[in-house]
Structure 1
Amino acid sequence: MSLRRRLLWSLGLSFVFLWFSVAAIMYLHLNQQVVKTLDQRLASSANMVAGLVARRPEMLITSNAANPLLLEPESKSVACQIRSVTGEVLLQTSGARGASLSDSPPGYSMRTIGGDQWRIYTLQQDEMFITTADRMSDRRKLENSIILVMVVPFTLAFLGGLAVLWWGVRAGLRPLQYLHDQLRQRSSYNLEPVRVGSAPSELKPVVETLNGLFARVQRTVAREQRFASDAAHEFRTPLTGIKTHLQIARRVTGDRQQLALTNAEKGVVRLQRVTEQLLMLARLEQGVPCQEEAGSRVEEILENVLADLPDRSRVRIENLVPGETVGVPLTLASVALRNLIDNALKYSVKECLLAIDTEPAAGHGASVRFLVQDSGLAEPSVSDGAVEPSSTAAPVSHGLGLTIVETITTQCGGTLVATYNDMGGMDWLLHLPLASKS
């Protein structure tokens, strides 16, 4: 069931229940008040007749005791009788109804006269009984008229309330329907932010969360596209080299053949390294980075990085924090730093600088800062400024290795920031958290 129908049903049923409860209470109360008012009117009539008789007692003297009259012609809806304590009728309305009021007990009572029910009130005063009566059918007509006057506007208000409720629910959920229409008509490639005009305050967090999700998906898609491009490039280069050197080795002999085979072997080694990088990236994406305990000394990281590094002489190291321990597994820290140095050597015509120092606690705690600086392959063409490696860094400075570095830093609580330097290259700042001292 849709949210609109659920709201309409829940609110509508609650609305109907409340209104019918109020209507029932009002009907019962109004019916009691009408009956009470009519009974009071009946008693007031008897008191009025008693007052008139008390002021004009000569009214009781009649020349025709066999047919005492109070009113002529005969009334169809009311009747009255005055009788003595001995039962003698002194005055009465004409017809059978007046004569049928005899022997009525004092107070209110009901009697059937001529097939109609009558409401009777008898008042005892001095030596007389004064009886007044109303026909119940006429009283019910009056009651129904009064109730009808109450029910008609009540019913109109009830129906109008339901219509306003239906309109209010539809109008209130219109932004949600607009959001639904936007998402339904959107293509799978459209990751632009959703815009709902005058969205209510309750819907704004949903829209903001949805737009945040679209932004993260867009960054992920861009990263995956960049990763696919980098991986294809990383595979294409060694495969092309291996194919070329094998073709040369097939055509030549002697030392030239051995040189071609050696170069093909180097291509295989590079291809193997790329495959290992891909496997490590897959393990990092699955959230199982390493089985070893977190924590590695800076000297151990440098030893692992420089062990089989080509062009070792082109790397100048300035270690200002000997003995410090990084709160990252040794394998991951070594892979991250090795990839940064490989990237710097690849895109540098001069030597590269590796400077290591600590950074005071700020926000997430103290960290070890690894600065990898390259001189670039050409003169700088972009003004200095901070550049995020995952978004606006130079394309030539990106590769499969940097994607792994970004993944490692994200999972280990570190950061990676790139800035252009004055030499035309880039400064890669890798921040890894310090291990807690027990």
Structure 2
Amino acid sequence: MSLRLRLLLMIGVSLSLLWGGVALWLLRDLDHEMRRTLDQRLVMSARMVAGLMSQNPAAWDGSTGKAGLSTLTLPAAEKGLTCQVSSLHGEVLASTPGTTSEVIAAAAPGFADAEINGERWRSYTVEAHGLRVTTADRMAERNMLQRDVLVAAALPFVVALIGSLMVLWLGVKSGLLPLERLRQALASRAPDALTPIPEAPMSRDLLPLVHSLNQLLERTSTTLRRERRFTSDAAHELRTPLTAIKIHLQVARITHGPEAQASLDYADEAVARLQHTLTQLLTLSQVEGPFSWNDGRIAQADDVAHLAMRDAAPDASGRIALKTDGDQTELALPQALAVTALRNLLDNALRHSPAAHSVSLELQTSQDSVCFRVCDRGPGLSSEELALVTQRFWRRGSGRGSGLGLSVVAAITERFGGSLELAPRRGGGLAASLTLPRMTRTH
């Protein structure tokens, strides 16, 4: 359903219900007032006739010697109203033409409804000055009059409602023009156009939407630039070991003995470097993407520390000094990622520390997180290098490694709400603090 149709339906239905409710309320009151007015006409007519008859008693007094029936005539326009004057004993003294005596026969003072010869009547009787005066209306004519009045009163509401809906259609169409212009502006842009949308000609109500779109375009542009740079750097990093492998294999083909074996060893080393780079790239892409790492294993801080130490220094476990209280605190991230992040920190520390110095690993547990603190005795990093160290493929000088280890650590902490802090260590070296969130248990 389009936005225009939805607005028309919502506002149109609301407007129709409002107008309909007001119309029903007014028409109900009008109907009530019409009935009361017609009843008052009967009352006033009966009382007026009784007053006139009381002013000329000789016209109906039996002492005149002639007792007969007199008739009162009314204008043709008032034929719907009938009147009859009788004595208290039931003797009819005067009546209008067409008066039905059955209407008056059992009339008691006040209002009464009766059905005579298939017609419904409403009458009013008053007794005064020794006379009984009854006025009556045919309900068919009365209802027709009420219906005509109600139709005449309802017609302006219907016309107003139809006019309001037409104005609403034009208003919604005109009000959505800025949104349509924005749609046309977006549709006319080139697929690779990520420049911000101009805000000058936009409606003030659309400015928040334009701001959000510009922020999205900026994030998309930044992501594309980062991915292009990543692709370029990855191609360069992968080409280097592949070229080395190709050269060493060619040397091995044309040489024999120790030289051929040395070339094969170098080729094997380049293959290992290539495999390590590909593994880091795969891990980084999975961490930054929608990949699910739920392997069903509960990550416990002490186990993560031991597994990371085993992977980082399988042949020199004595180079890592672990300080922990053995508390099996559960972490709020998969075990594989926690081990990968800590292993990369340990591997980086071992690579840059002299062989005579050990690397310390300390676990610090707080209420909602666990901090793995890795300290080495390497050359450390300057403030400028600290700002670049988590960028992909960044290495100091022509150092060994893929340049992705700390990038993977930063991506893992960002995805799971942790943090990575690098700072110079007093006395030389680098202190890396990896903070990971603890698992929260709901009862």
**Pick aligned residue for 1:274 from 274, 277, 281:** 277
Give the structure 1 partner of residue 408 of structure 2. Answer: 404
**Distance in 1 between the 2:181 and 2:377 partners?**
51
**Distance in 2 between the 1:16 and 1:111 partners?**
40
**Distance in 2 between the 1:145 and 1:127 partners?**
39
Give the structure 2 partner of residue 77 of structure 1. Answer: 78
The structure-2 alpha-carbon separation of the partners of 1:17 and 1:217, relative to structure 1 and needing over 3 Å to count, comes to same
**Distance in 2 between the 1:230 and 1:341 partners?**
24
**Distance in 2 between the 1:276 and 1:433 partners?**
22
**Distance in 2 between the 1:330 and 1:306 partners?**
19
**Pick aligned residue for 2:312 from 280, 305, 309:** 305
The structure-2 alpha-carbon separation of the partners of 1:394 and 1:230, relative to structure 1 and needing over 3 Å to count, comes to closer
**Distance in 1 between the 2:286 and 2:6 partners?**
46
The structure-2 alpha-carbon separation of the partners of 1:140 and 1:426, relative to structure 1 and needing over 3 Å to count, comes to farther
Which is worse superposed, 184-193 or 127-136? 184-193
Give the structure 1 partner of residue 54 of structure 2. Answer: 54
**Distance in 2 between the 1:5 and 1:434 partners?**
48
Q: How does 1:19-98 map to 2 (within 5 A)?
A: 20=20, 23-24=23-24, 26-27=26-27, 30-60=30-60, 68=70, 70=72, 75-78=76-79, 80-84=83-87, 90-91=93-94, 96-97=97-98
Q: How does 1:291-330 map to 2 (within 5 A)?
A: 294=300, 295-296=302-303, 301-302=308-309, 304-307=311-314, 321=323
The structure-2 alpha-carbon separation of the partners of 1:80 and 1:266, relative to structure 1 and needing over 3 Å to count, comes to closer
- Report the CA distance between 1:367 and its aligned residue: 1.5
**Pick aligned residue for 1:287 from 265, 287, 293:** 293
Give the structure 2 partner of residue 415 of structure 1. Answer: 419
Give the structure 1 partner of residue 248 of structure 2. Answer: 245
The structure-2 alpha-carbon separation of the partners of 1:350 and 1:215, relative to structure 1 and needing over 3 Å to count, comes to farther
**Distance in 2 between the 1:222 and 1:255 partners?**
47
- Report the CA distance between 1:38 and its aligned residue: 1.4
The structure-2 alpha-carbon separation of the partners of 1:375 and 1:82, relative to structure 1 and needing over 3 Å to count, comes to same
**Distance in 2 between the 1:90 and 1:7 partners?**
70
- Report the CA distance between 1:236 and its aligned residue: 1.6
Residue identity opposite 2:373 in structure 1: R
**Distance in 1 between the 2:230 and 2:55 partners?**
116
- Report the CA distance between 1:276 and its aligned residue: 4.7
**Pick aligned residue for 1:261 from 261, 264, 288:** 264
Q: What is the TM-score when the length of structure 2 is the normalising length?
A: 0.63
Q: Does 1:143 align with 2:146?
A: yes
Q: Does 1:233 align with 2:240?
A: no
Q: What is the TM-score when the length of structure 1 is the normalising length?
A: 0.64
1:233-264 CA-partner distances (Å, limit 9, x unpaired)? 34222111111222333444554444333322
May I ask how many residue pairs the two structures share in their alignment?
414
- Report the CA distance between 1:120 and its aligned residue: 5.2
Which is worse superposed, 42-51 or 56-65? 56-65
Q: Is the 8 A contact 1:123 1:130 kept in 2?
A: yes
The structure-2 alpha-carbon separation of the partners of 1:292 and 1:187, relative to structure 1 and needing over 3 Å to count, comes to farther
**Pick aligned residue for 2:374 from 370, 376, 379:** 370
SS in 1 for 2:133: strand
Give the structure 2 partner of residue 389 of structure 1. Answer: 390
- Report the CA distance between 1:42 and its aligned residue: 1.7
- Report the CA distance between 1:278 and its aligned residue: 5.2
SS in 2 for 1:104: helix
Residue identity opposite 1:31 in structure 2: D
The structure-2 alpha-carbon separation of the partners of 1:374 and 1:176, relative to structure 1 and needing over 3 Å to count, comes to farther
Q: Is the 8 A contact 2:241 2:270 kept in 1?
A: yes
**Distance in 2 between the 1:351 and 1:119 partners?**
120
**Distance in 2 between the 1:51 and 1:178 partners?**
79
1:3-53 CA-partner distances (Å, limit 9, x unpaired)? 654564466456546754664565455334423321321222121221233
Structure 1 unpaired stretches of 5+: none
Q: Is the 8 A contact 1:230 1:400 kept in 2?
A: no
Q: Is the 8 A contact 1:297 1:325 kept in 2?
A: no
Q: Is the 8 A contact 1:349 1:375 kept in 2?
A: no
1:269-322 CA-partner distances (Å, limit 9, x unpaired)? 32343345456667865415696863338677556534458xx9xxx9795836
**Distance in 1 between the 2:248 and 2:103 partners?**
136
Q: Is the 8 A contact 1:87 1:102 kept in 2?
A: no
SS in 2 for 1:369: strand
**Distance in 2 between the 1:136 and 1:412 partners?**
82
**Distance in 1 between the 2:416 and 2:103 partners?**
106
**Distance in 1 between the 2:229 and 2:324 partners?**
37
CA RMSD of aligned residues (A): 5.9
Give the structure 1 partner of residue 399 of structure 2. Answer: none
Q: Percent same amino acid among aligned pairs?
A: 34
Which is worse superposed, 249-258 or 292-301? 292-301
Q: How does 1:156-167 map to 2 (within 5 A)?
A: 156-159=159-162, 162=165
Residue identity opposite 2:408 in structure 1: I
- Report the CA distance between 1:431 and its aligned residue: 1.2
The structure-2 alpha-carbon separation of the partners of 1:59 and 1:358, relative to structure 1 and needing over 3 Å to count, comes to same
SS in 2 for 1:240: helix
Q: Does 1:104 align with 2:108?
A: no
1:207-254 CA-partner distances (Å, limit 9, x unpaired)? 97x999888877776665565445433422211111122233344455
Q: Is the 8 A contact 1:227 1:403 kept in 2?
A: no
Q: How does 1:175-190 map to 2 (within 5 A)?
A: none
The structure-2 alpha-carbon separation of the partners of 1:161 and 1:399, relative to structure 1 and needing over 3 Å to count, comes to same
